[in-house]
Structures are given as structure tokens and as C-alpha cells.
Chains A and B, each alone.
Chain A
């Protein structure tokens, strides 16, 4: 039973355009959502987060949107750069014990 789903295993975007990565969740007990980026042979690194009481959080080229009624969040990267090519994980945190539940990841490829 996947509580956090990233339905696109991969996404290819032209350099300079917008990349939109999606994530769906099923559990209403999540209070915080995070995006991580992972390069090959490295551990995941924190990218951006959003509290369940907000609907948008922005940090430079990265913006996360949360639609609670649809149980959906998305990460927008604009403009996309070659260094953004990586696997992106969405993770949701349980409010009761702070455990993170992760999606399976989306591999983003930025084409020059």
C-alpha cells in the first residue's frame, strides 16, 4: 500500500523550460512534505519543504505547491538547468512520530 506515489518514473525537459514533478498521497495524517534530490552514488539532499497549512513555498528556482483537497503536491523548477538532472523524491512526514514516507522517485533529465 503506497501512501506516497510518484507516478512518473522519468521526465525529460528542455533546458530553460519548466520542469513539473508530481506527487500524490493518501494519508491525511501527514503534516509536512519534503522534496529531495539524489545524484548517482550520492545520498539524497534536502531541496525544499512545505507545511500542510500552506499551499505554496518558494526558494529561488524551486516552488512547491500543495493541494490538500486533492492530496497532491508538485515541484516546479524554472528555468531548468543541466545540473538539475537527478532523481527527485517526494517524502511525507507523519505528524505523530515524524517518520518520513517516501515516494519511488522521478528521474529528471534536462536536455541541452
Chain B
């Protein structure tokens, strides 16, 4: 059973650019959630995908978008990068919808730096 993996591990971009972050969910999991963790803060919920459809979104602008593929892997896309987008981006997978936080597994994250 493979765990949650994320790529790349680190990334440096400049303001205005676009970025795509990737997440492979744990085997058998069909739900993926994305979080943003700024330095010194706790993770903030961006959105969740269940069976390829968005199922809930936090307080993030539309330039944050996502996709989930038939194999349940997922992408987070951020357009028009801003300096405040610099953060650790965490992906978490689980089986089924909400209420399963105990069985939600996190990847190690992608560290994004926007200059």
C-alpha cells in the first residue's frame, strides 16, 4: 500500500506566473483535499475533490483551481501567483466523504516560494 506522494517537493516561481502541484492519493482512496500552510500557521482548507468533482471549497480566490483524475490523483493549479502564495501546500487523501478525518492521510507537501 503506497502512501500519499506530492511533487515537486520544492518550487520557486516569480509573481504573475502559474504553477501546478501534483498529488497521488493513497491506494484505494477516492477523495483528495488540498491545504495551504503559511509559515507559522496551521493548514487552511483550499478545496476537496471526490470522484473527480469539487466537493467543498474554502475561502480562496478562483485563481486557485484543481482537478482530480480517474485514478484519483489530483492537481492544484494557481494562476497569477502573488508573494502571499508562498507556503507549504499539503494534499490529503481519504476514502469517502467528510467525517473520515481519522483516516485522512497527508502527503509531505510541496514548498512553494514566490519571488
Give residues in A with beta carbon < 8 Å to B. 4, 6, 9, 32, 34, 41-46, 49, 89, 91, 93, 97-105
Contacts and interface: CB of A to CB of B under 8 A. Distances in A.
Contacts of B105: 43, 45
7 contacts: A43-B4, A44-B90, A45-B106, A100-B101, A102-B42, A102-B43, A103-B42
A41 to B, nearest CB: 6
A100 B41 contact: no
A32 B100 CA distance: 11
Given A32-B101, A49-B101, A99-B56, A43 B107 contact: yes
A92 to B, nearest CB: 11
Contacts of B41: 104
A34 B101 contact: yes
Interface in B91-108: 92, 97-99, 101-108
B91 to A, nearest CB: 8
A103 B106 CA distance: 17
User: Which of B43, B58, B103, B107 lies at the interface centre, i.e. has the most chain A CB atoms within 10 A of its CB?
Assistant: B43
User: Which of A34, A49, A91, A97 lies at the interface centre, i.e. has the most chain B CB atoms within 10 A of its CB?
Assistant: A97
Given A4-B42, A42-B106, A102-B42, 16 more contacts: A6-B42, A9-B40, A43-B90, A43-B106, A43-B108, A44-B90, A45-B106, A98-B56, A98-B97, A98-B98, A100-B101, A102-B43, A102-B44, A103-B42, A104-B41, A104-B42
A93 B102 CA distance: 12
A105 B42 contact: yes
Contacts of A45: 105-106
B66 interface: no
